[in-house]
Amino acid sequence: MASRSHFAAPLLLAVVVALIVYVSLYPFRFAPDGPSLLDAFARLAWARAGRGEMLNNVLLYLPFGFCVALLLEPRFGRAKGLVAATVAGALLSLYMELLQASVPMRVASFKDLSLNTFGALAGALLGSVWHLLSARMAPQTAAQGRSRAVVVTILALWFLARLWPLVPDVGLRQLKDAVRPLFSPRIEPSELAAYFVGWLVVAQAVFSLARRQRAVDAFLIVIAVVLVGRTITAGNTLVTAELAGIALLLPVLVMSSRLPDHTRAMLVATALGTWLAWTAVQPAIGHGGPAAVDLPAFTEFIGRNPPPPGHLAAKGFSYVGLAWLLAVAGLVPHVAAGVSILFIVILSMLQLGSAAPAFGWVDVVIAGIAGILVARWMPRK
């Protein structure tokens, strides 16, 4: 039986319980003459529910079971942890259903209770898998030549890219809109690759920032902040391809955990560089031939509008991450910065004359700033 505890579990569990209470009892207008708990239990029935509502009930309690399993399994074992997480989810759901009987706008039912319980069980199973893999995901070798400032910058840019416009919206409509894409999942290979590579860079950054025994829990917190944040920030939704990318990432982290730090960094840098190169050449491949060769006038090239802030943050994340990874892989920081800048310049030149270029002068500027940060902040070996 594993004994490693997860420091993130209590914090995440508190957030999940607060979210469940909010979603279950909103708008918190209780009838003054509401039924007692026994009367409310007697009124429970198997009310009909649509597919979307059923999936919502499962998803709501899935993180609850996940967190309870992480909290209890290290102490009591896998079987007891699964049972306890499922029973705790059922009891919490039952209490919420009984309280809903006093909220005129809500309908309490045994179907919701059963779906919530199933969600807690499914989450507990996922939590058990995470606990099993967590000890193997963290790198086995010590990180060297790190700069916390660069790593924090990479993570901050990732949060900005995923959570922009950073406007909180905790209404039920936003929550329902955020999970609606999961009802009819569609995964484009290019989108899946983008999220997989992005989270691969994030994992490398987190593992370099936190101590080995806490690195996986820190990575879990980053995942939770992004996913929960996208459900409560205006206009954002959960993305099926992102969830799939995170799931695919876990076995990759296990397999790469024993690699030397510089080798792992070079592999991640190669994956990121390959993805950036693909975004530059894919439009030409998609049109079945080379892109237009008519070069735009300099004023037209400079006059192109920059992308929105969220996209700017994503570009900054990629370019700072690329230069940082090359430096960690063994290149002198100034050389790593120069290579990354030259790489982005080449990609921008490849897209000259394109009707809808993915790279432009903004990318060259951002890459230059990223190179300066890495050259100045990364220690020389």
The 10s digit of each residue's pLDDT in 8-31 is 889 899 999 999 998 888 878 887
Instruction: Give 185: exposed, middle or buried? Use CB within 10 Å, 0-12, 13-18, 19+.
Output: exposed
Kindly report which listed range (79-88, 138-147, 353-362) carries the lowest average pLDDT score: 138-147
Helix (H, G, I), strand (E, B) or coil at 152: helix
User: What global pTM score does this model have?
Assistant: 0.86
Rounded to 5°, angle at Cα 63 from 58 and 65: 85
pLDDT grade for 212, boundaries at 50, 70 and 90 = low
Kindly report which listed range (145-159, 269-283, 334-348, 364-378) carries the lowest average pLDDT score: 145-159
> Percentage of the chain with pLDDT > 90?
59
Q: Say what the alpha-carbon torsion angle 76, 77, 78, 84 is, to the nearest 10 degrees.
A: -10
**Mean pLDDT calculated for residue range 104-123:** 88
Greater confidence, 22 or 246?
Answer: 246
Compute the distance between CA of residue 357 and CA of residue 292 in angstroms, rounded to an integer: 11
Structure tokens at 52: 């979307």
pLDDT grade for 298, boundaries at 50, 70 and 90 = low
The per-residue pLDDT for 323 is: 97
pLDDT grade for 266, boundaries at 50, 70 and 90 = very high
Taking residue 161's Cβ as centre, other Cβ atoms within 10 Å add up to 20
Q: At how many degrees (to 10) do helices 189-209 and 309-328 cross?
A: 60
Compute the distance between CA of residue 345 and CA of residue 326 in angstroms, rounded to an integer: 17
**Mean pLDDT calculated for residue range 157-185:** 92
213 has a pLDDT exceeding 80: no
Runs of H (alpha helix) within the chain: 8-25, 37-43, 51-76, 78-100, 110-137, 148-163, 172-179, 189-209, 212-231, 240-256, 261-286, 298-303, 309-328, 333-350, 361-377
pLDDT grade for 140, boundaries at 50, 70 and 90 = low
273 has a pLDDT exceeding 90: yes
The per-residue pLDDT for 1 is: 41
